Copies of this chain bind each other. A is one copy, B any other.
């Protein structure tokens, strides 16, 4: 089984290239795909800082690359974009495809502890395996300069991974993140199944809980949230996160955007601001 990534597609965009790769992931025990957007290179030896994008429920590594328009600003800022998939695939675990908010396409960027879902180790895949794989195989990437952002379930992933690895990521941002999953139905369903019934185990994967533990946040966290997002009140709970940040003195810029929904049209509208936010942090550090 080939752990080295194989290029399976390549398309030029804004002077750089969207490239899709396939590899066998020992962490997840299955074959995985991911996308890299390489900006145009000023010289053969140039190295790009990397910005990880974590997608939301039902997405693969393709949605962000196809819909966000992020490549325009990534090209001009000289930042490589890394878009992994959202869960293991092809393992045929009973029930893995029964619902859109659990199992396939819904890895929640955690390490499952329950035996049935033992392959669902997306936290380790994103934080450990993927950066090593990039570092080993793509000399044009400066993987020690990394930031992370995401949408919805991927916003939850970006915030929690950032807070637990302040040494690894220079900055974090999110679009409509699931900001307090232990208190919403999506999170409770996923965490019960992946992590078991002991709720204290859930807090390691809840951004609002983590804020109180990791106060040494250097860069301001940027969050955009559409006011017409139908998941805002019941699932996303950004006010809980805002309150926790205020109490912990963590710098947060939470912007409510009137009229915007939960879609990639919302993301595309504000993606340039997020890329610039990370470009600044990556340049400074």
Contact = CB atoms under 8 A, between A and B. Distances in A.
Interface stretch (A9-17, A105-113, A167-175, A202-210): A9-17
B69 A260 contact: no
B268 A12 contact: no
A268 B13 contact: yes
A44 interface: no
Interface string A56-76: 000000000011010110000
A24 interface: no
* Interface core residue of A69, A261, A266 (most chain B CB under 10 Å): A69
A18 B263 CA distance: 11
A259 interface: yes
Contacts of A67: 66-67
Interface string A247-263: 00000000000011101
A269 interface: yes
A265 interface: yes
Contacts of A228: 12
Contact of A14 (B11, B261, B269): B269
B66 A66 contact: yes
A268 B73 CA distance: 12
A265 B69 contact: no
Contacts of A14: 268-269
A269 B18 CA distance: 12
Contact of A72 (B69, B263, B264): B69
A234 B205 CA distance: 54
A265 B18 contact: yes
Contacts of A261: 11-12
Given A11-B263, A12-B226, A13-B266, 9 more contacts: A13-B269, A15-B269, A18-B265, A66-B264, A67-B67, A69-B69, A69-B72, A71-B265, A71-B268
5 contacts: A12-B226, A12-B228, A12-B261, A12-B266, A69-B69
